[in-house]
Amino acid sequence: MALILGFLFAGITFLNYWMGIMPQHGETILSQMAQGILGNSFLGHLGYYIFQFSTALILAVAANTGFSAFPMLAYNMAKNKYMPHLFMEKGDRLGYSNGILTLAFGAMILLLIFNGNTERLIPLYTIGVFVPFALSQTGMIRHWKKKKG
């Protein structure tokens, strides 16, 4: 994971330097890079919009992952007595409503605290994405080391 992230960071940094891309208000570096790579032809514009749509779709799926995975995690932790038992109750649609509502309430609180400022919220998102990956990989390493030895 760290190698992939490092490779992506180095590649994007190199391309931005090589293409002379500088931060601009109102357009992301990634958007400028895509425009520079894909060009100004009809196919370039089409590719640019496909790229932007794909990026938005990836971010939407990533944001939804928390709402689909957290209730199950909270249920399992409540079952093992690490969280309150109210996370074990199923709602009308057989979903763990208390987990979903807790996550939604937490998101509202963060939006209010940071006034919806994405420059301040993105670092929290980054931490929220990479810490669970690192923890899960650490857990898998420990699991397989115990199983081998």
Per-residue pLDDT tens for 3-53?
Answer: 888 898 899 899 999 999 998 888 888 899 999 999 889 999 999 999 999
pLDDT score of 131: 80
Helices 29-38 and 42-79, packing angle to 10 deg: 140
* Residue 25 DSSP symbol: T
Domain range enclosing 75: 42-148
- Closest by CA to 126, choosing from 9, 23, 20, 31, is 9
Domains identified in the chain, total number: 2
Give the Cα separation of 101 and 139 in Å (integer): 28
pTM of the entire predicted model: 0.63
What's residue 52's pLDDT?
94
Do 125 and 59 share a structural domain? yes
pLDDT at 93: 61
Q: Could you report the per-residue pLDDT of 62-116, keeping only the tens digit for each?
A: 878 777 788 888 888 888 998 888 888 877 665 678 888 888 899 899 999 999 9
Q: What is the DSSP letter of 27?
A: B
119 and 134 fall within a common domain: yes
**CA distances (Å), 93 to each of 11, 65, 90, 96, 97, in order?**
45, 18, 8, 9, 9
pLDDT of residue 139: 84
Note the pLDDT of residue 71: 84
What pLDDT score does 53 carry?
Answer: 96
- Alpha helices for 80-117 (secondary structure H): 97-113
Tell whether 22 and 61 lie within a shared domain.
Answer: no
Identify the pLDDT of residue 92. 65
Q: Are residues 31 and 77 in the same domain?
A: no
CA 39 to chain centre: 29
